[in-house]
Structure 1
Amino acid sequence: MKVLFLCSANSARSLMAEAIFRQLAGSDFEVMSAGTEPTQPQAEALDVLQAMGVSTTGLKSKAIDELEDTEFDYVISLCDRARVECQADFTEQNFVAWDFPDPVESRDSEAFKKTAHELSERIRMFLFILRKQSDTPHLYNSPQDFFKVMADPLRLQLIVQTAGTDEICVCDFVSATGMSQPKVSRHLAQLREYGLLLDRKEGRWVYYRLNPALPDWMREVITTTRSHNPQLVKDQQNECV
């Protein structure tokens, strides 16, 4: 699947979106960016990406005309100007309009950082929806992606807790972690998005289990972590009613 991000200068917003999307989506997608009047990549944008651990290799400002022979499944505009000027040129594609303020014009010293964070959150949700529609769990197979997922303390506890049972209800996760149900459900949804967990719904409750398609090395890391870190495993009080 091919995705194109558009803005006016292709120097900050769309370049950051391209890099972040590429890192989050992996090999399932091909992503590009372009501008209606491209200039040069903003140094602040590249610095923020690198600070986030996002690769900036190959990023450069491009004109839309350079991509006229490429067909895209989704075209996402990041400013109103790009939407007005370009939407008519992509009538056969799924055109999506996101309007992000230009950090280049902002006086806020944190503007680039905030824009990158907001783009990351929006892209994560966009990918989540696409994968939900495809009904195919995405599985990160690279060690880097796997350990990034496991680095979050709550997600680590949730995945380790799941490893010891056939399946666990979300209410049991809430009991074991002491966290609110919305927070637990959000992290469980992310683990499902990453392909580490599968779920099924029964009545008003959702039950989770380890994805049986996990590579052996991932399963071994999870089970070894569980066996050597008993503090991560809490007693569950079945509160499903």
Structure 2
Amino acid sequence: MTTRVLFVCTANSARSIMAEAILRQLGGADFVAESAGTEPAQPDERALAALEKLGFTTSGLRSSRLAEFDGQQFDYIISLCDRTRHECQSRFASQNFLAWDFADPVAGNTLELFDRTALQLKERIEMFLRVLSHASDRGHLFDRPQSFFKIMADPLRLQMISLLAQHGELCVCDLVEATGMSQPKVSRHLAQLRDYGLLIDRKTARWVHYRINPALPDWMRHVINTVNDYNLNYQTAR
């Protein structure tokens, strides 16, 4: 089944155009990627150059008005700035809406910012694709709120999620020390949280470091932050 994704931004000239091109190439035939703007301009030549530096095709890219996609159904609507998140979240309330906030390289007006934004979008989209690839018969975390709350109901998982919300990134040894649980038990639960798409990891030498997946929908991040703010028992320092 083909997954349809629409990236939205204000001008549809840089961030959303780059995201469209990146997902088209990385997702292949399994994905249909589109992009649109609430106030579309023209594709920024610096954005196109940044894509080409990373090996992405730019042919056929154009700035589109969001109204062109009225009535169409997408599996995911992804906003790339706060402005479009506020403008579009209610508009697409019946569809899966994700908010990714990327600084506007046009405002910075340097080639380095366009290169950096393209690279960051590539990394985020690769992460998004990895999360989707872990979808199973249990239902994908993004699509089924009950799966998310079932995960949060486990005391150890909830404590580790809260610790990661506080500190940003922790290694397995940090979480073992903070929770008082055995390393195998902590690692097993962390692997499950990663497979659900709630966490991402990176390896350095013999340690694995975890952090909350930045691609989570706003409402999930809000639940995590609320739990963290009002449950002092989970606020254990390193």
TM-score by length of 1: 0.56
**Structure 1 residue corresponding to 2:54, chosen from 46, 52, 55:** 52
Q: 2: distance between equivalents of 1:55 and 1:103?
A: 20
Shift of 1:134: 4.1
Letter in 2 for 1:93: Q
Q: 2: distance between equivalents of 1:66 and 1:127?
A: 26
1:97 counterpart residue number? 99
Larger radius of gyration: 1
1:12 counterpart residue number? 14
Contact 2:46–2:111 (CA under 8 A) maintained in structure 1: no
Q: 1: distance between equivalents of 2:44 and 2:122?
A: 18
Q: Kindly report which structure 2 residues correspond to 1:30-41, keeping only aligned pairs within 5 A, or say none.
A: 30-41=32-43
Contact 2:25–2:56 (CA under 8 A) maintained in structure 1: yes
Shift of 1:47: 0.7
1:78 counterpart residue number? 80
Q: Residues 118-169 of structure 1, C-alpha deviation per residue, up to 9 Å, x if partnerless? A: 001111111100110147xxxxxxxxxxxxxxxxxxxxxxxxxxxxxxxxxx
Q: 1: distance between equivalents of 2:60 and 2:207?
A: 39
Contact 2:20–2:33 (CA under 8 A) maintained in structure 1: yes
Among the aligned pairs, what percent are the same residue? Answer: 54
Letter in 1 for 2:108: S
Local SS of the residue matching 2:86: helix
Letter in 1 for 2:46: E
**Alpha carbon RMSD of aligned pairs, Å?**
1.9
1:180 counterpart residue number? 205
Distance 1:18 1:64, change over 3 A: same
Q: Residues 18-69 of structure 1, C-alpha deviation per residue, up to 9 Å, x if partnerless? A: 0011111111111100000000000000011111110011100001001113
Letter in 2 for 1:180: A
Shift of 1:109: 3.6
How many pairs were matched up? 142
**Structure 2 residue corresponding to 1:29, chosen from 22, 28, 31:** 31
1:68 counterpart residue number? 70
Shift of 1:90: 0.5
Q: Structure 1, unaligned stretches of length 5 or more?
A: 136-178, 187-241
User: Which 4+ residue blocks in structure 1 deviate beyond 4 angstroms?
Assistant: none
TM-score by length of 2: 0.57
Q: 1: distance between equivalents of 2:206 and 2:122?
A: 24
Q: 2: distance between equivalents of 1:107 and 1:32?
A: 25
Q: 2: distance between equivalents of 1:78 and 1:35?
A: 10
